[in-house]
Structure 1
Amino acid sequence: MEPTVDLNADMGESFGPWVMGDDAALLDIVTSANIACGVHAGDWDVMAETMRRAVAGDVGIGAHPGFPDIQGFGRRRMILPHESLGNLVRYQVGAAQAMARAAGGEVRHVKLHGALSNMTSQDEAMARACYEAALSVAPDVIIMVLAGTKQQDAVRDLGCRVACEIFADRAYNDDATLVDRSQPGAVIHDAAKAGARMAEMVREGAIITESGKRIPTRIDTICLHGDTPTAVSIAGEVRRALTESGVRLKRFEGVPV
């Protein structure tokens, strides 16, 4: 059977006149979009326009909730009680649902952003609080998790649909978490390198870390960050490399882990 994989990108991160990334170009390449919900980035107009473009391009819509940290772009860690954290996620998923429906679409998946994602990749209870909150307002939504981390552990007994994700433009530690952005080489800007490593990871069914370690994992979707200057070129090269290696791009269906 021909192997398939989804290609997703974080987007909808502009704010008023401040433009972040080239969402229109990315939407011509990816199969799923993780759209900011106006808390770590984006605003109601940006959400509406991004949702409209996604529907028009038949790109799967995802809610991308993060910490309330516009200035830090959601990349600064915050400590919140799990009850409050759940409400924060519900608030953002609800906004995404409303905007998607107004645009003629639906929210298919939920993916945590930035520091919230990094923290939950190491804290199963925190991840579970976020996912239970999302499912409480969107019971049929697909939960996108960082493959091989505590996020994946957190969804094992929730009975929900799941998509396991790896990153095209980020380096990995040996525990399958992402190398901190403060470290050299944490973010990959070379499109050719990104394409080749994604084709290799999908072919091997494993995350390949900076040390060369292979971590076998299910891979349903590949992410790149829409705010990086090379996002469009990386997306195009990853798509080309996958296609040339015999992998077809297709939206994930989401099955339990």
Structure 2
Amino acid sequence: MKPLHLDINCDLGEGLSNDAVLMPFLGSCNIACGGHAGEEKTISETLILAKKHGVKAGAHPSFPDKANFGRKIIDMPEAELEQSLIDQIRLFQSIASKHGLQMHHIKPHGALYNLAARDPKTAELITSVIVEHFRETWLYCPPFSEMEKSARSKGIKVAREIFADRNYNADYSLVERSNPEATIHDGGEAAAHVREMVFNHRIKTLNGDYLPIEAETICIHGDNPNALEVLKSIHKILHHETSQDLQGA
């Protein structure tokens, strides 16, 4: 069977101890840059690992809310959220530059990601930040989302993302983390989940239905307790080959 050229990405730099063991299996990584986690030291350390392993590095901005790890929608003025995102991404960009690296992509985190997937106003805010300040940067976002629509309308380079370790609802949204079945912890279960998405181009939802899907990158979460097991299972499915070029990036 022909190996698949599909990017695997992971959320890193979030204060955990597993970045170094996960990095060798990745094609790209999303590094926390001060909103939900991370600061200059952790960003720098994660970028050094990414450079060592030839992994594309991107900014992972969030609602400015470390108390809730960016997993709660924060009611704040649009101008303040916009400035916070610009500041987070510029911090990442400046540190990357010091290490001789370019920012490859931007991927919103947590509640901001999920909100922008369904809310046109939030999607517009994020894509406007990219167009105005980070024009050549890729955006990682969910397929069929408001974020994808807004990005494509502005000519932003888009990589559609699916999740190996999260279950989906019937509307393509991720199952709320309050649900005990939201996260997939077992490597074999994650492998079956990814196999459906990659080979059959469909997602099996939590209620057992199937949704059509197309994507260019697969995400796992670094804070998944079994992140390494899940990642190795996915890597095996893709025949130990991740993309070195994401659509010519």
**Category of TM-score, reference length = shorter chain:** over 0.9
**In the aligned structure 2, how far is the partner of 1:151 from the partner of 1:212?**
26
**What's the CA shift for 1:156?**
2.4
| Residue 120 (structure 1) aligns with | 116
Equivalents in 1 of 2:17, 2:174: separation in Å?
A: 22
Question: Which residue does the alignment assign to 1:231?
Answer: 227
Deviation at 1:242, TM superposition (A): 2.4
Specify the SS of the correspondent of 1:92: helix
Partner residue of 1:195 out of 191, 195, 198: 191
**Where do residues 237-256 of structure 1 align in structure 2 (5 Å cutoff)?**
237-243=233-239, 248-251=241-244, 253-254=246-247
Pairwise mapping of residues 91-170 of structure 1 onto structure 2 (< 5 A)?
91-170=87-166
Counterpart residue number, 1:13: 14
1:25 maps to which residue?
Answer: 21
1:31 is matched by which residue type in structure 2?
A: G
Alignment match, 2:181: 185
**Unmatched tracts of structure 2, length 5 or more:** none
Structure 1: distance between partners of 2:76 and 2:131: 19
CA–CA distance in structure 2, aligned partners of residues 148 and 252 of structure 1: 23
The residue type paired with residue 215 of structure 1 is: L
Misfit runs of 4+, over 3 Å? none
**Deviates most, 127-136 or 23-32:** 127-136
TM-score normalized by structure 2?
0.94
Do the aligned partners of 2:123 and 2:150 also contact (CA within 8 Å) in 1? yes
Change (3 A) 1:167 1:158: same
CA deviation string 1:74-115 (max 9, x = no partner):
111112233322222111111111111111111100000011
Deviations 1:89-146 (A, max 9, x none): 1111111111111111111000000111111111022112112102322110001111
Question: How big is the shift at 1:173?
Answer: 0.4
Alpha-carbon distance between aligned partners in 2 of 1:22 and 1:149, rounded to the nearest angstrom: 30
So what's the TM-score if we normalise by structure 1? 0.91
Amino acid paired to 2:14:
E
Partner of 1:17: none
| Contact 2:161–2:219, Cα closer than 8 Å, also in 1 | yes
Displacement, 1:160?
1.1
CA distance in 1, matches of 2:235, 2:3: 15
Structure 1's unaligned 5+ residue stretches are: 15-19
Letter in 2 for 1:81: P
**Distance (Å, rounded) in 1 between the aligned partners of 2:33 and 2:174:** 23
Aligned to 1:222: 218
> 1:43, CA displacement in angstroms?
1.5
CA distance in 1, matches of 2:205, 2:33: 31
Cα deviation digits, residues 50-74 of structure 1 (max 9, x gap) = 0111011100001000011112111
Matches within 5 A, 1:40-59: 40-59=36-55
Give the deviation of 1:32 after TM superposition: 0.4
Name the % identity. Answer: 35
RMSD: 1.6
